[in-house]
Structure 1
């Protein structure tokens, strides 16, 4: 990338940080590495960002917006069961394709209440939109939003850690089975609410 520092914007710094984290890994990321990537001195980087924690919070917000955008695009024009399937697939794909960014978001949000508040909105909007098709009562809808994240994030977590490698069934088949169980439960919830 090697940008000159003149005209360097906060957005450019965040995008460069995202790129580095995805390439090098979140554990290898440092302000010095980012400054080198941008072609500036490490001390000059602090003219654009307050500190590492603030920068990582912005990286997480950027990643959450990226994930939400991918999910909203995936469900556009789809309704009901198909929308649930596309949303679940997109969530899982995002977590795999942006592994380092995804896990940075999960770890940072657990430690930062403001970031957690942002995550609650950004991660909830797509499933909230999908659930509108199921005519659920508000409280039931909240339970199903939480359940969706528990199923998909839980699956992604177990898959990431290799816990599914010891079974003869195909992992994708298990994922589709989990999503279908969620859909079946949604149909029951819809009946209860009608």
Structure 2
């Protein structure tokens, strides 16, 4: 019999707290059930599976990351938007490392909610790139480049990978300047390629989601 007062929202909130405090990779059904004070089989009254729970965490992680980034980017474009994106994602990852990790999981084959959130994240990156005038195939390559660069730096920092005494904030500012410079080198290529049609953009979004 389900524990009184326990529902799927409370289970998800507890999973978020455990993922943030101990790491997403440590989250198991047994651990979550123990923390909630119930037996593991009883947890399946509120979740379908561990994978389904991680799907929900991914959706929440992406939505929270999007909200933080959109707020930071409001009213700015170009380099300012890119820097706002970078700083907002880094601060989110520090505050919610478990949700950050969940937001990096592949969504191909997962719920429509996760895939919709992933497409919205891609749309945000493409909006930043339009501020530079980068469109077409160049925008897809650039979006991957930005995502890989930010994720690589943030994951290394969260994992304690920067052990030298030089200031890490200064290194991150340098990364953002290098990304900005890279976007500017794509202007001529993007201009010659022309903008994506609506059908092409939808197709390329699906390809990128499948590669996450």
Say yes or no: TM over 0.5. yes
* CA RMSD, 1 decimal: 2.6
Q: Which moved more, 1:11-20 or 1:21-30?
A: 21-30
Does structure 1 residue 113 correspond to structure 2 residue 108? yes
Determine the C-alpha separation between the residues in 2 that align with 1:77 and 1:115: 33
Change (3 A) 1:39 1:122: farther
Aligned to 2:172: 175
Offset, 1:38 = 4.0
The CA deviation string for residues 128-162 of structure 1, in whole angstroms up to 9 with x for no partner, is 22222222231111111111112111111332343
> When the two structures are superposed, what TM-score results if normalisation uses the length of structure 1?
0.81
Q: Give deviations 1:26-68, integer Å, cap 9, x for gaps.
A: 3443334433544544332211211222112212221121111
Cα distance per residue 1:80-137 (max 9 Å; x no partner): 111110001111122222113323443x42xx63249727424323212222222223
Q: Greater relative contact order (Cα 8 A, min sep 6): structure 1 or 2?
A: 2
SS at match of 1:164: coil
Q: Distance in 2 between matches of 1:157 and 1:18?
A: 18
Matches within 5 A, 1:54-73: 54-73=52-71
**Native 8 Å contact 1:5 1:38 kept in 2:** no
Match for 2:184 among 181, 187, 192? 187
Q: Secondary structure at the match of 2:54?
A: helix
Unaligned runs of 5+ in 2: 192-212
What's the secondary structure of 1:114's corresponding residue?
coil
Q: Structure 1, unaligned stretches of length 5 or more?
A: none
The alignment covers a number of residue pairs equal to 187
